[in-house]
Structure 1
């Protein structure tokens, strides 16, 4: 119940009916003062979602530890005891991504450690000179079999060192996109557009915009670290939209695999909202534990990481338990259908994430 100050008058300001208690019996509006203290705005917002009479906390307890209970209760028509599924999902989604925006879950240094270019060039030159010297010795100086084997081994080690240096260079996030970087085998937009004009393909609606963005970033001198950082930030901001888009897809797969006469699409939507609310909570808890592990002693960190693994596997097992309890199928049949659904959703969501990554890349500026 809201803690707003009640009016002394007994007429409803909304419909004019007589109000004997807190709420109008005709329209349901609460008979409170039209002007309240400022803190009321905050308390009213919190109460509207959490219902401090125990509804919210009871909902959370059942959501986390009793898979399928909320869905079964709601579909049975008992809808006042727990927070409605849509309101629950919106509130948890808001809290999760608000906290992620304020306290980023993963602090990754995308810029990397800037390498000393002079030192790298010196080492590379020494490797090249040594390789040439060994080749010269092998071709001009008579040598026995053992010398030849030794020289070949040294040459192999030098080539491996050069290859490792190139790999290290590719992971240097402070490095800009220079001429070594290509897109579909092309180093500039002009040659890329010319090739696409001569040989168009079905995938050009994706390939061409991505190519143009790549060459735009290359011309602007953007570093690899900056690209990864911006890509991560934009993808994170688009993630709530992606999850919201995927809700009806997840419910659609459930509708396909279950009796359509007994289970309406609406029913699958309720199950989906509850399961996605659970996933958001576990993601929030997982990120909190990850942060906690970074600031605690190593021995405690091990326990935290073990707990994170338990949460990860529990989130997978949770789906199978909830699926079995809601749809009341035979244990083996439920497991088989659940496994197929899990596989379908994994690939479908992976496809959605790839699409999100492409859109996020195109939004980099």
Structure 2
């Protein structure tokens, strides 16, 4: 139950944080057509429902119900922008990107706000569904050697007892025959363990932690070798905390595809990348929930097909619409960008793993 509450908290936090990042968002609740007096924030004379200088609403709430209304409004409403943004992000991503770059900021959720919302929602979904890296991942050679040694001692003890039963003249012929079969079985197991144990022991003796000379990194590598399961958990946690690194990692690769086109700026590529990553995160959420509802082979087949087909098509449509490309040019850049995505993913994993080792 604790994981479900934590996941719900992550979802609400992401929505509220995204709403705060979206600087065009106004206060929740119904607003009058006109307001009089002065702004309680900056002291400017009001000429409408909002202050024309700082943007604060002319009507402020001072009730407990208003706090809950603000929370629910921030989580599910986004001032109505979410319901305009999501359909365009799914079906007309290029037009959404172009219009936002062109200056239509108040109508849509900003790229960074949508990115934050999608990332928080993604990890909240993973927490609710209990999807996490295995805690018992890997087994160092030293632990394996110790386990084999304990197993050999146990087999030797069983063999000794079986031998005593076999040689006991006071037992029946049937009991001695059964004891003899146990002696043969334990002897065979002991022979196999005796052959494996030296190899594992030799590998354990040769296990040395790679030393880089950087104490913090060497300590992290030592922890990784000692507890790979914990390292996998930290990798997932760092992927969540440092997911924003995907944006600065991706922008240079998109810029390379348009380096000779002066009309496109780095800001344009950043908007393109951020909206694209937000869509992929939301798509992953939908596919994860679908796989949880339909866990059979048919469900997994549908998830696999959608995961292979939808992302390239979405990238193509966003490229063509955002940069006003012809069909062949958009397809070519889509194929190049798909290759770049693999490089970006590797760079991101290396950075996240490195940050986990030194933290």
Q: When the two structures are superposed, what TM-score results if normalisation uses the length of structure 2? A: 0.65
Give the conservation status (yes or no) of the 8 Å contact 2:35–2:47.
no
Deviations 1:169-217 (A, max 9, x none): 99xxxxxxx77346xxx4356xx77xxxxxxxxxx357x7665545567
Query: How far apart in 1 are the matches of 2:351 and 2:248?
Result: 17
SS of the residue corresponding to residue 39 of structure 2 reads: coil
Query: How far apart in 1 are the matches of 2:355 and 2:54?
Result: 46
Equivalent of 1:30 in 57, 69, 75: 57
Change (3 A) 1:44 1:361: same
- Aligned positions of 1:328-339 closer than 5 A: 328-339=324-335
Deviations 1:144-174 (A, max 9, x none): xxxxxxxxxxxxxx9xxx79x97xx99xxxx
Which segments of 5 or more consecutive residues in structure 2 lack a partner in the other structure?
Answer: 1-26, 157-187
- Aligned positions of 1:265-280 closer than 5 A: 265-280=266-281
**Structure 2 residue aligned with 1:283:** 284
**Structure 1 residue aligned with 2:251:** 251
Note the aligned Cα RMSD (angstroms): 4.0
Query: How far apart in 2 are the matches of 1:302 and 1:309?
Result: 10
Give the conservation status (yes or no) of the 8 Å contact 1:49–1:56.
no
Deviations 1:272-329 (A, max 9, x none): 11001101112222322333344xxxxxx23321231133121233212211222223
Q: Does 1:187 align with 2:207?
A: yes
Change (3 A) 1:69 1:181: farther
Query: How far apart in 1 are the matches of 2:125 and 2:223?
Result: 33
Deviations 1:199-247 (A, max 9, x none): xxxxx357x76655455677xxx5xxxx233122211111134431120
Q: Does 1:319 align with 2:315?
A: yes
Change (3 A) 1:107 1:355: closer
Q: Count residues in correspondence.
A: 289
Give the conservation status (yes or no) of the 8 Å contact 1:4–1:33.
no
Query: How far apart in 1 are the matches of 2:155 and 2:51?
Result: 83
**Structure 2 residue aligned with 1:342:** 338
Give the conservation status (yes or no) of the 8 Å contact 1:110–1:229.
yes
**Structure 2 residue aligned with 1:297:** none
Offset, 1:48? 4.3
Q: When the two structures are superposed, what TM-score results if normalisation uses the length of structure 1? A: 0.64
